[in-house]
């Protein structure tokens, strides 16, 4: 009995400590941005964000890069994971190791590799069509090379999210059931597997988005100015503005997390074939397991 | 008796379904399949007749599920053919095979309601929404779940999920219905109800059905014919009663129902057992000791103060009581007696055990 009553206390203490660990720095940041010595409370740092030089460009660029990275990660990972589960389960550990490798490669080393290739390419491929490709991926307006780098860095996160989603459904049985209902293999994956991975897809997307929003090293060392680089650069001469932007980006990230979590909930029945019976069904909700029709 | 002769015998003795004019014939012809060093199917020859429910019965690893999956199009044979109405469909992809399937594990699409699950195949065929809705409700009514059309799979019990899966499998009016141990995940009571339901539907729709199971009771009570498989081969195919009463091999005899092994000795083509001389059915060695295979209900136990056998235990099973008997040579056997007679045969009673004067199956020399 004593153990039972003490348990919530421990939980509360741990929760409080964790909360303080996360909230104190955030609270300090907020105070730093709104309490200017000599002026008192002011929101100038926040009102100045939109008009700050480079804010909109860097934020839009980062969101575009994030969208492209999410698409590329999904296009690479989802078919690979599904194919391995359906056709070659023994390759799963291999895929897991490959996707986990970026965890042990520091960003600086990754950038160093990219820089070498980007330097080597134009010198040796100047007379081939690939030269244009090397130029295009480094275009300042949309540096696709960053998408490539972010994709590699997002692989471990996206892999875990998608893998846990796939563990929750029996992909093989679902695909076979769909095929026995007349769906081709690609259609079975698109119409049966993917809808049941919605939560995992959203989680993977969110983690990728969060990574791209906060990534500094690769962007800075390759000479581009995505959002994180802009924050650091701005912080050099406008400390309060840069901290205000950090706080804002944190809030935006949390809001996106909430949106993704809401989207990831099971679909309601509004699109069901049988919506005409919805009213009757809802009256019985929450639906208990109906008695066995036996 | 070989599988081939067993098959021939069964073919002549099993009843035909009421109307098989439009139903489909399924044939496995010399079907072989290996997974690495494991032989799953070893030259399987088997035919499901139009409109019949054929059960594939056997222990784990006997190849019954592999055969079904080949018919469904999920596995390719190493050699041999799968024929539907005489057409070789070995190269036809699964989604064009016109075979509805119910799986062992719950296979409903979790993101769709029961009605949407049933209508899924029709959607794949680009049937209009109104027609899909109508057909889905018809089928849900057929399986007794019209009021559950809007429920999602997680809101249905296991039995209900399998009913919906059955409705989904029938939605496209397939030529063949494939059942891959659809009842094995259900509790005993639901299993009995649902297997009766499946049988009723199958007979009503007169659809050729292949039903994989490892549960002999399920196979015997549901199927028109039962094919017993072992190590990728067909051991015997016959109607349930024939399979039970006159098993072709010792394996079938022991796999289907309970079987006693009594020590006997071959003599001039007959076998001497329990002091009786009985004719032998099927292959047997010319001389020497053998095991005589006898069902518990074939053993006659009579109370006898001077009998040399003894009742060890008596277990009440409703209409019959199963006695465990110790024979004079120390062997232990089971015998079923009508329960109203069991009062005269309590544990410890001495009895005389006899066999009816009918041909018996024997198995190899005793070790």
Q: Give the Cβ contact number of residue A36 at 10 Å.
A: 13
* Nearest-CA distance A259 → chain B (Å): 20
With vertex at residue B113, the alpha carbon angle to CA B107 and CA B119, rounded to the nearest 5 degrees, is 80
**Alpha-carbon distance B267 to B289, whole Å?**
9
Is there a domain that residue B219 lies in? yes
Is there a domain that residue B72 lies in? yes
Name chain B contacts of A189, Cβ cutoff 8 Å.
Answer: none
pLDDT for B344: 86
Task: Answer whether B99 sits within 8 Å of A274, measured CB to CB.
Answer: no
Residue B160 sits at the chain A interface (C-beta within 8 Å): yes
How many independent structural domains does chain B possess? Answer: 2
**Alpha-carbon distance B154 to B63, whole Å?**
32
pLDDT for A286: 33
Instruction: State the pairing for strand pair B320-326/B233-238.
Output: unpaired
Q: Does B93 share its domain with B178? A: yes
Last residue of a domain, one of B230, B254, B278: B254
**DSSP run (H or E) holding B177:** strand B176-180
Task: Answer whether B73 sits within 8 Å of A179, measured CB to CB.
Answer: yes
Name chain A contacts of B157, Cβ cutoff 8 Å.
Answer: 289-290, 292
pLDDT for A241: 84
Instruction: State the pairing for strand pair B99-102/B176-180.
Output: parallel
**Alpha-carbon distance B248 to B235, whole Å?**
8
Residues A158-167: b if buried by 16+ CB within 10 A, e if exposed: bbbbbbebbe
Chain A CA closest to residue B159: A292
Is there a domain that residue B309 lies in? yes
ipTM score assigned to the predicted complex: 0.82
Domain region containing B185? 3-98+174-254
Last residue of a domain, one of B254, B274, B302: B254
Residue A146 reports pLDDT greater than 90: yes
3-state DSSP assignment of residue B264 = strand
Q: Does B340 share its domain with B193? A: no
pLDDT for A131: 79
Residues A55-80: b if buried by 16+ CB within 10 A, e if exposed: beebbebbeebbebbbebbbeebbeb
Longest Cα pair distance anywhere in chain A, in angstroms?
80
Q: Does B269 share its domain with B234? A: no
Phi, psi of B321 (to 5 degrees): -120, 130
Q: Does B228 share its domain with B333? A: no
The dihedral sign for the CA sequence B12, B17, B19, B25: negative
Q: Give the Cβ contact number of residue B316 at 10 Å.
A: 10
Q: Does B187 share its domain with B88? A: yes
Residue A292 reports pLDDT greater than 90: no
Q: Does B226 share its domain with B77? A: yes
Q: Give the residue ranges of chain B where pLDDT is below 70.
A: 1-21, 365-367
Last residue of a domain, one of B206, B225, B254: B254
Confidence category of residue A135, pLDDT binned at 50, 70, 90: confident
| Distance set, CA A62 to CA A49, A258, A263 (Å) | 16, 20, 23
pLDDT for B9: 34
Residue B148 sits at the chain A interface (C-beta within 8 Å): yes
Q: Tokens for A90?
A: 């023994």
pLDDT for A273: 53
Chain A CA closest to residue B119: A273
CATH number of the domain where residue B316 is located: 2.40.50.140
**Alpha-carbon distance A273 to A203, whole Å?**
28
Q: Tokens for A94?
A: 């291999």
Task: Answer whether A287 sits within 8 Å of B151, measured CB to CB.
Answer: yes
Q: Do you find a cis peptide bond into B308, omega within 30 degrees of 0?
A: no
Q: Does B249 share its domain with B292? A: no
3-state DSSP assignment of residue B209 = strand
Chain A CA closest to residue B156: A289
CATH number of the domain where residue B88 is located: 3.40.50.300
Nearest to B8 by CA among B225, B322, B268, B277: B225
Q: Does B201 share its domain with B323? A: no
pLDDT tens digits for range A54-74 = 888 998 999 999 999 999 999
Is there a domain that residue B362 lies in? no
Q: Does B291 share its domain with B234? A: no
**Alpha-carbon distance A131 to A128, whole Å?**
6
Is there a domain that residue B112 lies in? no
3-state DSSP assignment of residue A288 = coil
Interface test with A, best of B101, B104, B107, B152 (most A CBs within 10 A): B107
**Alpha-carbon distance A276 to A271, whole Å?**
11
Residue B126 sits at the chain A interface (C-beta within 8 Å): no
Is there a domain that residue B94 lies in? yes
Task: Answer whether A196 sits within 8 Å of B109, measured CB to CB.
Answer: yes
pLDDT for A278: 40
pLDDT for B21: 53
Task: Answer whether B99 sits within 8 Å of A278, measured CB to CB.
Answer: no
**DSSP assignment letter at A191:** I
Q: How far is CA B22 from the centre of its chain?
A: 25
Q: Does B312 share its domain with B246? A: no
3-state DSSP assignment of residue B281 = strand
Domains in chain A, ordered, with CATH? 25-52+238-264 (no CATH), 56-227 (1.10.3720.10)
Q: Does B245 share its domain with B263? A: no
* Nearest-CA distance B13 → chain A (Å): 33
Residue A178 reports pLDDT greater than 80: yes
pLDDT for B189: 87
Task: Answer whether B152 sits within 8 Å of A269, measured CB to CB.
Answer: yes
Report the first-to-last Cα separation within chain B, whole angstroms: 23
3-state DSSP assignment of residue B321 = strand
Q: Give the Cβ contact number of residue B248 at 10 Å.
A: 26
pLDDT tens digits for range A227-250 = 889 888 877 777 888 888 888 888
Chain B CA closest to residue A264: B111
Residue B113 sits at the chain A interface (C-beta within 8 Å): yes
Strand partners, B294: B260
Q: Does B293 share its domain with B219? A: no
Strand partners, A87: none
Is there a domain that residue B76 lies in? yes
Mean per-residue pLDDT for A151-166? 95
Q: What does the H/E/C string look like for A45-113?
A: HHHCCCCCCCHHHHHHHHHHHHHHHHHHHHHHHHHHHHHHHHHCHHHHHHHHHHHHHHHHCCHHHHHHH
Is there a domain that residue B146 lies in? no
């Amino acid at each position: 009995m004593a153990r039972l009553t003490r348990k919530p206390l421990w939980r509360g203490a741990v929760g409080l400590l964790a909360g303080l660990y996360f909230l104190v720095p955030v609270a300090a940041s907020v105070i730093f941005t709104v309490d200017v010595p000599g002026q008192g409370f002011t929101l100038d740092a926040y009102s100045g964000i939109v008009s700050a030089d480079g804010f909109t460009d860097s934020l839009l660029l980062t969101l575009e890069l994030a969208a492209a990275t999410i698409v590329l990660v999904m296009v690479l990972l989802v078919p690979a994971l599904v194919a391995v589960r359906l056709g070659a389960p023994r390759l799963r550990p291999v895929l897991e190791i490959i996707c986990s490798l970026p965890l042990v490669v520091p960003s600086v080393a990754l950038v160093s590799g990219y820089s070498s290739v980007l330097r080597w390419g134009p010198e040796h491929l100047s007379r081939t069509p690939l030269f244009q490709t090397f130029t295009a991926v480094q275009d300042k307006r949309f540096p696709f090379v960053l998408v490539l780098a972010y994709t590699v860095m997002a692989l471990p996160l996206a892999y875990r999210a998608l893998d846990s989603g796939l563990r929750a459904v029996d992909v093989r049985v679902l695909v076979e059931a769909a095929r026995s209902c007349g769906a081709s293999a690609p259609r079975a994956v698109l119409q049966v597997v993917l809808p049941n991975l919605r939560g995992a897809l959203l989680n993977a997307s969110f983690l990728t988005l969060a990574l791209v929003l906060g990534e500094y090293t690769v962007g800075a060392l390759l000479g581009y100015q995505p959002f994180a680089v802009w924050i650091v650069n701005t912080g050099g001469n406008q400390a309060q503005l840069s901290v205000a932007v950090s706080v804002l980006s944190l809030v935006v990230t949390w809001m996106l997390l909430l949106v993704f979590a809401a989207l990831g909930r099971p679909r309601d029945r509004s699109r069901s074939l049988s919506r005409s019976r919805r009213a009757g069904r809802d009256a019985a909700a929450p639906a208990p397991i109906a008695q066995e029709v036996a | 008796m070989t599988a081939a002769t067993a098959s021939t015998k069964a073919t002549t003795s099993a009843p035909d379904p009421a109307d098989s004019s439009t139903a489909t014939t399924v044939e496995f012809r010399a079907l072989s399949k290996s997974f690495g060093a494991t032989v799953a199917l070893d030259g399987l020859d088997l035919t499901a007749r139009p409109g019949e429910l054929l059960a594939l019965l056997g222990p784990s690893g006997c190849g019954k599920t592999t055969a079904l999956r080949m018919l469904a199009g999920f596995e390719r044979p190493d050699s041999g053919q799968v024929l539907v109405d005489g057409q070789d469909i070995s190269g036809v992809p699964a989604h064009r095979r016109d075979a509805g399937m119910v799986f062992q594990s719950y296979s409903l699409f979790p993101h769709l309601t029961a009605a949407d699950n049933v209508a899924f195949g029709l959607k794949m065929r680009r049937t209009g929404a109104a027609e899909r809705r109508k057909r889905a409700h018809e089928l849900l009514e057929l399986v007794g779940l019209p009021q559950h059309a809007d429920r999602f799979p997680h809101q249905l019990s296991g039995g209900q999920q399998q009913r919906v899966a059955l409705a989904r499998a029938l939605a496209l009016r397939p030529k063949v219905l494939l059942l891959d141990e659809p009842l094995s995940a259900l509790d005993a009571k639901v299993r009995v109800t649902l297997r009766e339901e499946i049988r009723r539907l199958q007979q009503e729709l007169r659809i050729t059905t292949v039903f994989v199971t490892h549960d002999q009771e399920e196979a015997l009570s549901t199927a028109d014919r039962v094919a017993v498989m072992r190590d990728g081969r067909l051991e015997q195919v016959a109607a349930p009663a024939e399979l039970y009463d006159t098993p072709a091999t010792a394996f079938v005899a022991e796999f289907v129902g309970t079987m006693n092994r009594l020590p006997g000795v071959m003599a001039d083509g007959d076998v001497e057992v329990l002091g009786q001389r009985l004719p032998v059915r099927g292959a047997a060695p010319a001389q020497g000791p053998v095991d005589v295979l006898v069902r518990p209900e074939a053993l006659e136990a009579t109370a006898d103060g001077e009998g040399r056998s003894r009742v060890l235990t008596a277990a009440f099973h409703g209409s019959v009581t199963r006695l465990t008997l110790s024979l004079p040579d120390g062997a232990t056997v089971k015998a079923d007696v009508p329960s109203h007679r069991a009062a005269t045969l309590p544990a410890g009673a001495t009895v005389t055990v006899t066999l009816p004067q009918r041909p018996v199956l024997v198995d190899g020399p005793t070790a």
